[in-house]
Chain A
Amino acid sequence: MIALIDYGAGNLTSVRKALTSLGADYDTPSSPQELARCSAVIVPGVGNFAATSALVGPWRDAIGAAVRGGTPLFGICLGMQWLFEGSDEAPEVPGLGVLPGRVTRLRGNAEARLKIPHVGWNGLAVPRGPEGSAPLGHRNFTGRLLSRLEPGAHVYFTHSYAAPVTADCVAATTHAETFAAVVERGNVFGVQFHPEKSSEAGLQIIRNFLDVARGPAVVARRAEAEC
């Protein structure tokens, strides 16, 4: 079973509906102890980074322990930001810290009419530059979360803060500046946008995570069945 963490940051109805439509077996655990028997963890969330202070303590410890034990973790929007060390939005609240880096406020560009918050559909690109994980000349996405997605796919964003493009970034998006849209490091995954609101592209990303959560054997069996 997948644990969908409800810590009061925004409404989970949309995430629930997407998971249900994809046939996921999930529940919202009422205590951190329940995480020990979950196959995967999803941390959603909308709003101010300060809301993640509800996770500080037992929840943060339990999620950290699950990740160290190999359980796949998927952070969505605020949940992805929480994977990093912290955010300028609420400097006193620590992130989970499984990914190096710090979340900062997007600057926008008033002259170019690039407003903040960054709201709407924007494209995913293979990260470039010294910090990007893709070798120069790499044209396709790497990693498991973006399986079957093409660069240029559009997804729905709504946020004012974002994580930097580091070695863990597998897709980047540009809105006056380039930031990490998708991160992946081992069993840790995150998306800055809302896959549950991003139509087919978003559902494919959730499906990819569900495949990770089910484990390689199940996915291989299904692939055989499809052939």
Chain B
Amino acid sequence: MLTKRIIACMDVRAGQVVKGVQFQQLRHAGDPAELAARYNVEGIDEVVILDITATLESRQALADTISAVARRIFLPLTVGGGIRSEDDAAAAVDAGADKVSLNTAALKNPALITTLARRYGSQAVIVAIDAKRRGDGFAVYVRSGTSDAARDAVEWAREAESRGAGEILLTSMDRDGTRSGFDCEMTAAVANAVNIPVIASGGAGGLEHFCDVFTRGHADAALAASIFHYADTSVSELKRYLRGRSIPVRI
């Protein structure tokens, strides 16, 4: 049976994981490769590296980070943050990324989704959607959530799928950082509208939140950052909890 995936996201700046990392066992707490290796031992299913600076100068540092992580873990590795062109995507893939995540660039230039899907296959192209509730719908924001894209998340997810996206990474801006749980209604609305996997993100705070988003939210995967970094919740503990609630996970 296909399992529900647990994905760890590392926000990276200049080759270091930002947000506090408190694994005492790690020699270099902010080192992405060390952290990824730790997650691998705990049973994480995938890792996402998000370049939060995404400046031109940070490009080489990012490639080095991707390469260092890909040498240590043999898991699907996604890279996002500032992927604006085919060249940016190629640099990430050449460094060892299996998938790239497009956000602002996909809305600005939707043809990029198709270009990359043709070059690397749809499985390598994730379209990331940041959205918040507005009335009955879900408004899409770009530029790290600062700019209203004047699109609805469900409609944009459908278009992304039709253009060749292999997965949707859906982040609730209302819930992000609140630790109050994923937005299950929004996740379900998108998951029910597309035939590609939907990764839920934003709001993970406790074990029960993952259970909710896999059941009520119909998510195929769930992504979190800080709760794993701070080791409030270990990946292995989370997976045992989910298995105890009859949610299929890889242990």
| CB within 8 Å for A47 and B45 given contacts A120-B221, A199-B73 | no
Bound Cα distance from A121 to B248, whole angstroms: 10
Q: Which of B111-153 contact A (CB under 8 A)?
A: 120-124
- Whether the pair B123, A122 counts as a contact (CB closer than 8 A) is no
Determine the chain A residues whose CB is within 8 A of the CB of B5 once the complex forms: 120-121
Q: Is A36 an interface residue (CB 8 A)?
A: no
Q: Is the interface of B mostly helix, strand, loop or mixed?
A: loop
- List, in ascending order, chain B residues with CB within 8 A of A199's CB: 40, 73-75
Contact between A122 and B3 (Cβ–Cβ < 8 Å)?
yes
Q: Indicate if the CB atoms of B166 and A156 lie closer than 8 Å.
A: no
Whether the Cβ atoms of B75 and A113 lie closer than 8 Å is no
B190 close to A (CB within 8 Å): no
Contact with A along B164-176 (1 / 0, CB 8 A): 0011000000000
Q: How close is B240's CB to chain A, nearest CB, in angstroms?
A: 15
A203 to chain B: which residues have CB within 8 Å? 74
Does any Cβ of B come within 8 Å of A167's Cβ?
no
Whether A11 lies near B120 (C-beta < 8 A) is: yes
A46 within 8 Å of B by Cβ? yes
8 Å CB contact of B166 from A11, A119, A194: A119
Contact A114/B40 with A14-B96, A120-B197, A202-B74 known, Cβ cut-off 8 Å: no
Given A117-B196, A121-B2, A121-B5, is A11 in contact with B94 using a C-beta cutoff of 8 Å? yes
Q: Does B233 count as interface, using CB distance less than 8 angstroms?
A: no
Query: Shortest beta-carbon distance, A97 to chain B, in Å?
Result: 24
Given the known inter-chain contacts A10-B120, A119-B167, A120-B220, please indicate yes or no for A197 contacting B74, CB distance below 8 A. yes
Complex CA distance for A11 and B125, rounded to whole angstroms: 13
B55 at the interface (CB under 8 A from A): no
B76 at the interface (CB under 8 A from A): yes
Given A115-B220, A120-B197, A46–B123 Cβ distance below 8 Å?
Answer: yes
- Which residues of A have CB within 8 Å of B124? 10-11, 46
Q: Within 8 Å of chain B (Cβ to Cβ): is A175?
A: yes
Whether the pair A122, B220 counts as a contact (CB closer than 8 A) is no
A13 within 8 A of B: yes
Kindly identify which residue among A10, A13, A114 contacts B121, using a CB–CB cutoff of 8 Å: A10
Number of interface residues of B (CB under 8 A): 32
B250 touches A121 (CB 8 A): yes
Residue B71 interfacial (CB < 8 Å): yes
Interface check A21, CB cutoff 8 A: yes
Query: How many angstroms between the C-alpha atoms of A196 and B218 in the bound complex?
Result: 28
**Chain B residues closer than 8 Å to A21, beta-carbon distance:** 71, 74
A175, A194, A196: which contacts B2 (Cβ < 8 A)? A175
Asked if B178 is at the interface of the complex by the 8 Å CB criterion, the answer is no
Q: Given the complex, which residues of B lie within 8 Å of A11, measured CB to CB?
A: 93-94, 98, 120, 124
Tell which of A116, A154, A159, A175 touches B250, judged by Cβ atoms closer than 8 Å: A154
* A174 within 8 Å of B (CB atoms): yes
Given known contacts A17-B70, A174-B1, A119 and B94 CB-to-CB distance under 8 angstroms: no
Cα–Cα, bound, A202→B1 (Å): 18
Contact (Cβ within 8 A) B75 A197: yes
User: Is A198 located at the chain interface by the 8 A CB criterion?
Assistant: yes
Chain A residues within an 8 Å CB radius of B120: 10-11, 46-47
A194–B45 Cα distance when bound, in Å, is: 13
For residue B195, CB closer than 8 A to chain A, the reply is: yes
Tell me whether A101 is interfacial, beta carbon within 8 Å.
Answer: no
By a CB distance below 8 angstroms, the chain A residues around B123 are: 46, 117, 119, 158-159
Interface pair B3/A121, CB less than 8 Å apart:
yes
**Nearest-CB distance from A199 to chain B (Å)?**
6
Within 8 A of A (CB), among B31-79: 40, 45, 70-71, 73-76
Partner-B contacts on A (CB < 8 A) = 10-11, 13-14, 17-18, 21, 46-48, 110, 113-123, 154, 156, 158-159, 174-175, 194, 196-199, 202-203
Q: Known pairs A121-B250, A198-B74. 10 more at Cβ < 8 A?
A: A13-B93, A46-B120, A47-B121, A119-B197, A120-B220, A121-B45, A156-B45, A158-B123, A197-B74, A199-B40
Residue positions of B touching A, CB distance < 8 A: 1-5, 40, 45, 70-71, 73-76, 93-96, 98, 120-124, 166-167, 195-197, 218, 220-221, 250
Name 16 interchain pairs, CB-CB below 8 A, sorted by A.
A14-B74, A14-B98, A17-B70, A17-B74, A47-B120, A114-B2, A115-B197, A117-B123, A117-B196, A120-B5, A120-B221, A121-B45, A122-B1, A196-B74, A197-B74, A197-B75
